[in-house]
Structure 1
Amino acid sequence: MLQPGDVIGNRYKVESLIARGGMGSVYLVTDSKLNHKTWAIKEITQMHNNERFLEEARLLTTLTHPYIPKITDYFEPDAQGNCYLVMEYVNGITLQQRFENANYRIPLYTILKYMQQVCEILMYLHNQERPIIFRDLKPANMMVDEHDNIRLIDFGIARKYDQDKHSDTIQLGTIAFAAPEQFENKQTDQRTDIYALGAVMYYLLSEGKYYYQNSTVLDKAPSHLPQELIAIVRKLLEPNPAHRYQDISDVRQQLNLQIANRDREFSVTKTLMLRSEDHHLLYPAFYTTQATPSNPALIIYLLDVSGSMSLMKGYKRRIDIVSDSLQVALRQMVFRSTKGSRISSRYRVAIIAYSDEVFDLIGGVKKIDELMSTGLPTLKTYRFTDTAKAFQHAEQILRDELPRMQDCPAPLVCHMTDGVYTGEDPQPIVRRIMDMSVKDGNVLVENIFISDDVLETEVDQPKHWQGVRAETVFKDDYADKLRRMSSIIPESYREMINEANYNIARGSLFMFPGTNPDLVSLGFQMSAATTLR
């Protein structure tokens, strides 16, 4: 086993162990010839079949695909039978770890996206001049990188398909995901990978159950799964290869249709919820989990501190209105967490300011009592508005926090801005965030848009205002975009805020046009309106 400080090939210095398995280990190394660039080195132990290793190494060095880590170098077996592959380092975790961290429940949209990316990888492999069969698809061989994309790793038993052979030399594969022909003396081909894709989908969709030939496909699946998707999985898992999909491109096409259907269903459902006179009949029975000291609520504030936030709004700067409103919301959290003379913190908070850079104002996620005892830093204004970068930061916080939050209220991301972004489009990132979930429901996203000219009909009496609706007319195109990036206000939040004599209607969106200080304050107060116990 290699140790930190060991050097391979007079070039690659071992920094740490990344992972260890039955066939060997993977290490993080730095390259002395390329300005200490970071690579991963896979050590394969006791490899006495030099030809097999060299075949794998040569195979991998020819592959170029964005979802396959590039192999750049290799070392033949040494006297102890150890050989090494040098490859691109993927910053992320395996899909198996991602699945376990999410308590074996990944949102359907995310599963479909991951599997669609696996299809793209398999299309590339299967369409080589001599098709490459991966033969060991499983969540532990798929990395989820820092951009939430799948990267296929560990080509240890991949091989080129030879149509003249009637059986494989080596019968390998992980039992839970291997096709029937891998356990028999039969030739594997592209359809072997297609079966394994179905087995992985079954595993993810059934919240961690393995598929066996005597199982009924997704017989105990969650009720929200579309019948068309169950039919796709059933066909993928046909024991007879002739009855499966014959080409991975057909599978990708079917998954793309499922993704498109889900996008349409999301849009239609949201519209129906907003336009129906009986919103409460349509709204899902989520967001009823009460925050407690052991299962507190998480609120992530994203505050636009671009240069325009220093403009005056009435007798105050916009940034000062935001600072005052945030203070009111935080004091409300303290008040609601206080029992007698003792604070039993029921909130955890992150406060992120952003312009063209992101600033963590309080150093991570803090309990509300800890935050208020140290005080808030003064908000300063900078230049531009990279909203996508801010939401990416929030997304990373959620990835880190959600595995420990399954019994907590659904987190809320409260975003305040006063103008159009200057970086990438934030909407796809917001959609990913809104697809994250805990048992209580999906992550909520709120938007507070500070502007002098947002609504066609101005709000003179905030206490009587019913909220942003489907029919609300905006003067500003960016306000329309923010509406599409906003969750529907759960009944529990609406009822809580209406106890303070507001009149927010059922089905209104988590969006507040900050045309006056009272509406800005209402938006921040709404962020703290989760139910408590």
Structure 2
Amino acid sequence: MELDVHNKEAILLSDYPDFSQLGYQVIQELGRNQKEGRITYLANIQNSNYKVVIKEFSFAHTSVDWSGLKPYEREMEILRRLDHPRIPRYVDSFATPKSFYLVQEYKNAPSLGLQRNFNLEQIKQISLSILEILVYLQQLDEPIIHRDIKPENILVDDQLNAYLVDFDLAQIQSAKITVSTLAAGTPGFIPPEEQLGYSLTQASDLYSLGVTLICLLTNTRAVDIAKLIDDRDRFNFQKLLPRLNPRFKSWLMKMVEPKPKYRYANAAVALEDIKSIEVSDTATAIETLIAAVKFRKQTTMLGLAMMAMFAVATTTLILSQQGGVAQQLQQSSQCQGCDF
């Protein structure tokens, strides 16, 4: 029986590429995109516990696109420029006669594409974490636009730290379109300006992030996001989230404005704005508390006023009584010896 188990493991391992000559041992397959000819593996660097991700690009499915680069060439070029703790760093690359392989740092965090439930405060924390990454990308000497922000391309660990992956569609903001203006990315997450062939701006990734957050808030899968878009091409999800703070709703709707000029100009502005916004709709509770405080103040003031009036009335009464007694005593003194 034990022999059968080992044989089964041997068969499973034989399905994976052998990178032992290059110093990597594949552990398991993490995912694949059959249409694009991409497979992602988890591997160990031999003789260590250091894990890496090996991304396979099939030459049969790879061609030069609008940027003049093949996807793996662009991703490798972009990753070499980056140094951020929440962007898996470039480690290595190599090729075989059939495929190109890109090796990256492994982050032990599942993607948001998996069915996971977060409360409103946790979603705000994830928002902050992603925006911090976008601020870094947008403040580089040559700003970078990711172009494919969606739940599957964001990893989140147990501490709610977000990691941004898959830069194969990313571009340097100043790069010129040389071949085609066709939009790339995931339907529903592509900003309208890209679909119309206009230049991308730092507000473009904010649209995709806004759509991603709507997925999280409404527990909607990425493939079903079109169900939340109305006939005017605007997102209509507010009725699904009655507990969401109106200010946060406004912030989110500004993120997914169809026209870039009505969105936040960049991630830094959006980040600064969201920091002071409560996610849960606590307005009613706050208003009730304020009303109670005001009522208490009014009651206290009324009580003090009544006490003051009572004190004045009491003093007046005492003084008037004292005056009457004094007058009576004076009259009594004056009338002593008088005959009536």
TM-score (norm 1): 0.45
Correspondence for 2:58 among 12, 21, 45: 45
**Alpha-carbon distance between aligned partners in 1 of 2:53 and 2:154, rounded to the nearest angstrom:** 15
Alignment of 1:67 onto 2:125: no
Structure 1 partner of 2:43: 29
CA-CA distance at 1:263 after TM superposition: 9.5
**Alpha-carbon distance between aligned partners in 1 of 2:110 and 2:42, rounded to the nearest angstrom:** 14
Task: Report the residue type matching 1:222 in the other structure.
Answer: L
CA-CA distance at 1:158 after TM superposition: 0.5
Structure 2 partner of 1:512: none
Task: Report the residue type matching 1:26 in the other structure.
Answer: T
CA displacement 1:6-64 (0-9 Å, x = unmatched):
116521121211112243111111112x6352211111223344943323202102211
- Where does 1:240-255 land on structure 2 (aligned, <5 Å)? 240-255=259-274
CA-CA distance at 1:84 after TM superposition: 1.0
CA displacement 1:56-95 (0-9 Å, x = unmatched):
202102211121111111124x322x11111111112111
CA 1:241–1:72 in 2, change beyond 3 Å: closer, same or farther?
same
- Where does 1:124-143 land on structure 2 (aligned, <5 Å)? 124-143=136-155
CA-CA distance at 1:160 after TM superposition: 0.6
**Alpha-carbon distance between aligned partners in 2 of 1:108 and 1:215, rounded to the nearest angstrom:** 22
**Alpha-carbon distance between aligned partners in 2 of 1:83 and 1:7, rounded to the nearest angstrom:** 13
- Where does 1:333-352 land on structure 2 (aligned, <5 Å)? none
Structure 2 partner of 1:162: 174
Structure 1 partner of 2:75: 56
- Where does 1:474-493 land on structure 2 (aligned, <5 Å)? none
Secondary structure at the counterpart of residue 95 of structure 1: coil
Is the radius of gyration larger for structure 1 or structure 2? 2
| Matched-pair contact (CA < 8 Å) for 1:135–1:157 | yes
- Between Structure 1 and Structure 2, which shows a larger proportion of strand residues? 1
CA-CA distance at 1:148 after TM superposition: 2.9
Task: Report the residue type matching 2:50 in the other structure.
Answer: K
| Matched-pair contact (CA < 8 Å) for 2:182–2:197 | no
CA-CA distance at 1:250 after TM superposition: 1.0
Secondary structure at the counterpart of residue 196 of structure 1: helix
| Matched-pair contact (CA < 8 Å) for 1:217–1:234 | no
Which stretch shows the higher mean deviation, 66-75 or 210-219? 210-219
| Matched-pair contact (CA < 8 Å) for 2:183–2:190 | no
| Matched-pair contact (CA < 8 Å) for 1:235–1:245 | yes
- Where does 1:417-496 land on structure 2 (aligned, <5 Å)? none
**Gaps in structure 1 of 5+ consecutive residues:** 277-533
**Alpha-carbon distance between aligned partners in 2 of 1:253 and 1:235, rounded to the nearest angstrom:** 14
Alignment of 1:95 onto 2:107: no
Structure 2 partner of 1:114: 126
Correspondence for 1:236 among 255, 260, 279: 255
CA-CA distance at 1:198 after TM superposition: 1.4
- Where does 1:309-458 land on structure 2 (aligned, <5 Å)? none
**Alpha-carbon distance between aligned partners in 2 of 1:2 and 1:60, rounded to the nearest angstrom:** 30
CA 1:64–1:237 in 2, change beyond 3 Å: closer, same or farther?
same
Task: Report the residue type matching 1:246 in the other structure.
Answer: A
- Where does 1:141-220 land on structure 2 (aligned, <5 Å)? 141-162=153-174, 169=181, 171-208=183-220, 210=225, 211-212=228-229, 213-215=232-234, 217-220=236-239
Q: Percent identity among equivalent residues?
A: 26
Task: Report the residue type matching 1:31 in the other structure.
Answer: I
Secondary structure at the counterpart of residue 20 of structure 1: strand
**Alpha-carbon distance between aligned partners in 1 of 2:275 and 2:44, rounded to the nearest angstrom:** 39
CA displacement 1:175-222 (0-9 Å, x = unmatched):
121111222222222111011111112222233162435345433232
CA-CA distance at 1:173 after TM superposition: 1.0
Secondary structure at the counterpart of residue 40 of structure 1: strand
- Between Structure 1 and Structure 2, which shows a larger proportion of helix residues? 2
Structure 2 partner of 1:79: 97
**Alpha-carbon distance between aligned partners in 1 of 2:183 and 2:279, rounded to the nearest angstrom:** 39
CA-CA distance at 1:113 after TM superposition: 0.6
Task: Report the residue type matching 2:97 in the other structure.
Answer: A
Task: Report the residue type matching 1:79 in the other structure.
Answer: P
**Alpha-carbon distance between aligned partners in 1 of 2:237 and 2:182, rounded to the nearest angstrom:** 31
CA displacement 1:219-245 (0-9 Å, x = unmatched):
323211011111111111111111111
**Alpha-carbon distance between aligned partners in 2 of 1:9 and 1:241, rounded to the nearest angstrom:** 49
| Matched-pair contact (CA < 8 Å) for 1:168–1:185 | no
CA-CA distance at 1:122 after TM superposition: 0.7
**Alpha-carbon distance between aligned partners in 2 of 1:223 and 1:167, rounded to the nearest angstrom:** 46
Correspondence for 2:30 among 18, 28, 52: 18
CA-CA distance at 1:165 after TM superposition: 5.5
Q: Does 1 or 2 have the higher relative contact order (CA < 8 Å, sep 6+)?
A: 2
